[in-house]
């Protein structure tokens, strides 16, 4: 374990070691290859390449906007400039397989860029599973109002994984006398809810819906 993670007693967290970064990068590349394979099973080579490019662009945009933070909480979590939207669009464009895979890929990239590792198992809930849940938007990609509904479901999925992580691993940080579950529900809501509401309002605008619809047609 020390070759991948090392415990920092002063800050009570684990730090990734070079081998850990190599493993995560290899896993990220493997997941991107999975997107390519998903596309290749049913589509032409041209669409296959286009799907991979669109997913890579969405992950890149989500990563870039994740650095624009309006609020950052001490134990992880921040309200950003629409960073969850771009990854959720991969599901809306291509369905759940691609959306979930792109979401997990984005979660691993977030772990590489800005890791907060309190416990090894906590990483699973706060990164691959939480961000992977944004791909749940794919289950609504052909439904009426699927854009807003899919995005909301994806964000709620991410929220629930963070809540589980907070309750299991961070209960000790709850203020004295407060129920740890209530604490983690509120803690994660403070940064998830504002971004969810603002983005949902944006997606409800006719001009934005039309623009994303045009991008979806081009993507397919």
Q: 85 phi and psi, to 5 degrees? A: -65, -45
- Mean pLDDT of the region 92-118: 92
Q: With CA atoms as reference, report the closest residue to 151 among 201, 191, 107.
A: 201
Q: With CA atoms as reference, report the closest residue to 165 among 193, 190, 188, 195.
A: 188
Alpha carbon distance 161, 195 (integer Å): 17
Alpha carbon distance 23, 144 (integer Å): 40
Distance between first and last Cα of the chain: 43
Over its C-alpha atoms, the chain yields an Rg (Å, rounded) of 18
Residue 71 or residue 93, greater confidence = 93
pLDDT at 52: 85
DSSP three-state, residue 170: coil
- Mean pLDDT of the region 71-94: 87
Q: Is the dihedral of CA 119, 29, 212, 217 positive or negative?
A: negative
Query: Predicted confidence band at 188 (pLDDT cuts at 50, 70, 90)?
Result: very high
Taking residue 101's Cβ as centre, other Cβ atoms within 10 Å add up to 25
Asked if residue 2 has pLDDT above 70, the reply is no
Residue 70 or residue 162, greater confidence = 162
Alpha carbon distance 136, 156 (integer Å): 10
Residue 178 or residue 49, greater confidence = 178
Q: With CA atoms as reference, report the closest residue to 132 among 97, 107, 149.
A: 107
| Pair 130, 109: CB distance under 8 Å | no
Range with the lowest mean pLDDT among 4-8, 22-26, 192-196?
4-8
Beta strands in the chain (DSSP E): 5-8, 13-16, 69-72, 78-80
Q: How confident is the model over 162-175, as pLDDT tens digits?
A: 999 999 998 888 89
Alpha carbon distance 49, 47 (integer Å): 5
- Mean pLDDT of the region 1-8: 74
pLDDT at 46: 57
Residue 76 or residue 19, greater confidence = 19
Q: How confident is the model over 11-56, as pLDDT tens digits?
A: 777 888 888 888 888 888 888 888 767 665 555 555 577 888 899 9
pLDDT at 115: 85
Residue 75 or residue 32, greater confidence = 32
Alpha carbon distance 90, 120 (integer Å): 28
| Pair 107, 131: CB distance under 8 Å | yes
Q: Taking the complete model, does pTM exceed 0.85, yes or no?
A: yes
Asked if residue 184 has pLDDT above 90, the reply is yes
């Amino acid at each position: 374990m020390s070759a991948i993670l090392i415990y920092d007693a002063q800050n009570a967290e684990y730090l990734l070691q070079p081998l850990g970064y190599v493993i995560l990068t290899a896993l990220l590349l493997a997941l991107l290859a999975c997107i390519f394979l998903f596309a290749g099973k049913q589509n032409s080579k041209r669409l296959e390449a286009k799907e991979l490019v669109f997913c890579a662009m969405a992950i890149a945009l989500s990563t870039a906007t994740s650095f624009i933070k309006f609020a950052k909480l001490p134990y992880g979590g921040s309200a950003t400039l629409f960073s969850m939207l771009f990854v959720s669009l991969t599901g809306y464009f291509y369905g759940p397989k691609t959306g979930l895979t792109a979401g997990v890929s984005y979660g691993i990239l977030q772990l590489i860029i800005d890791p907060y590792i309190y416990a090894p198992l906590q990483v699973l809930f706060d990164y691959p599973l939480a961000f992977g849940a944004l791909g749940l938007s794919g289950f609504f990609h052909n439904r009426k109002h699927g854009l807003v509904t899919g995005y909301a479901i994806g964000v709620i999925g991410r929220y629930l994984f963070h809540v589980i992580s907070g309750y299991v691993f961070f209960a000790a940080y709850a203020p004295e006398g407060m129920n740890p579950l209530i604490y983690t529900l509120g803690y994660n809501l403070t940064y998830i809810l504002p971004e969810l509401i603002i983005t949902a309002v944006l997606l409800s605008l006719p001009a934005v819906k039309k623009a994303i619809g045009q991008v979806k047609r081009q993507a397919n």
